Amino acid sequence: MSAIDGLPPLRQVIATHGLSARKSLGQNFLLDLNLTAKIARHAGDLSASDVLEIGPGPGGLTRGLLAEGARRVLAIEKDARCLPALAEIAEAYPGRLEVIEGDALKIDPLAHLTPPIRIAANLPYNVGTELLVRWLTPPEWPPFWESLTLMFQREVAERITATPGSKAYGRLALLAAWRAEARIVLSLPPEAFTPPPKVSSAVVHLTALPEPRYPADPKVLERVVAAAFNQRRKMLRAALKGLAPDIEDRLIAAGIAPTERAEQVPLEAFCALARAVAAG
């Protein structure tokens, strides 16, 4: 049976183009077009946006994004074997899909995109986390993107959306909460993928805030948070000793008890501490 876009089912696409999954590329494919359309809907209203998709593979999510009305999709894929399958999708949606072959960590997609831009991806988890950190820490804010809709290992998704006091709370949660609204919108069992990975997954949707939630110098905040969570079990006066000789005074100036541990400190207090540290 052909799908709504008139293209063959994904199992057939994979067989026709010999796209056996490669572990080295983190290939766990989504073959259910209802599911990929659902993920695309979580990315928001796509009709007025260009969508940057990283790692389209055989094109399940790409087809979901296009079927859900994305104005244009720019897809970056490292595995050249996928290009003929993606070319068929481009033909079914004239003028709406551009594919670039290459490593998303090395390509600057901006020249190919017109704002507003939304990003959607089902990526290998290590690449996904690296790109997420990059997208959350550009030199200027607001960033080039309006929203990110990204698949992660469930445990990583929980780290991105964690709140103070939980084990998952740390650098990723603070980075995400400072400049974005982040929430888990969908949970997926291993069987949703072919082949199934070992662990469950979740889709995280992040919306860029027009400006950071609290004022702080990004570099100083990053330094403070990294030092605090590098030794997360220590009291902050010990964990942050290297940042300033009078760190206890600065903690107090920021309204944080020097005996507190990083896990308990909310974003607002970390930003106040970054300002106190930057005050010289």
User: Which residues bind to ligand SAM, rule: CB under 6 A?
Assistant: 25-30, 54-57, 60-61, 76-79, 82, 103-105, 122-124, 127
Q: Minimum distance between the CB of residue 95 and ligand SAM, rounded to whole angstroms? A: 22
Q: Which of 142, 206, 205 is nearest to 180 (CA)?
A: 206
Q: Minimum distance between the CB of residue 244 and ligand SAM, rounded to whole angstroms? A: 39
Q: Minimum distance between the CB of residue 47 and ligand SAM, rounded to whole angstroms? A: 21
Residue 122 is assigned to a ligand binding site: yes
Q: Minimum distance between the CB of residue 29 and ligand SAM, rounded to whole angstroms? A: 4
Q: Which of 219, 232, 153 is nearest to 187 (CA)?
A: 153
Q: Minimum distance between the CB of residue 139 and ligand SAM, rounded to whole angstroms? A: 22
Kindly tell me which of 77 and 158 has the beta carbon lying closer to ligand SAM.
77
- Surface-to-core class of residue 198, CB atoms within 10 Å of its CB (0-12 exposed, 13-18 middle, 19+ buried): exposed
Q: Which of 186, 7, 204 is nearest to 92 (CA)?
A: 7
Residue 69 is assigned to a ligand binding site: no
Residue 55 is assigned to a ligand binding site: yes
Residue 77 is assigned to a ligand binding site: yes
Q: Minimum distance between the CB of residue 135 and ligand SAM, rounded to whole angstroms? A: 14
DSSP 170: S
Structure tokens at 84: 């003929």
Kindly tell me which of 29 and 145 has the beta carbon lying closer to ligand SAM.
29
Kindly tell me which of 42 and 213 has the beta carbon lying closer to ligand SAM.
42
| Amino acid type, 231 | Q
> Directed axis angle between helix 83-92 and helix 60-67, to 10°?
10
DSSP 71: S
Alpha carbons 163 and 269: distance in angstroms, whole number:
13
| Amino acid type, 45 | D
- Residue, CB closest to ligand SAM: 55
Residue 140 is assigned to a ligand binding site: no
Within 13 Å, how many C-alpha atoms sit on residue 188's CB side? 28
Kindly tell me which of 118 and 275 has the beta carbon lying closer to ligand SAM.
118
Kindly tell me which of 27 and 147 has the beta carbon lying closer to ligand SAM.
27
Alpha carbons 32 and 64: distance in angstroms, whole number:
10
Kindly tell me which of 25 and 168 has the beta carbon lying closer to ligand SAM.
25
Task: Determine the Cα angle at 233 with ends 228 and 234, to 5°.
Answer: 65
Residue 50 is assigned to a ligand binding site: no
Binding site, residues? 28, 30, 55, 77, 103, 122
Binding site for S-adenosyl-L-methionine, residues? 28, 30, 55, 77, 103, 122
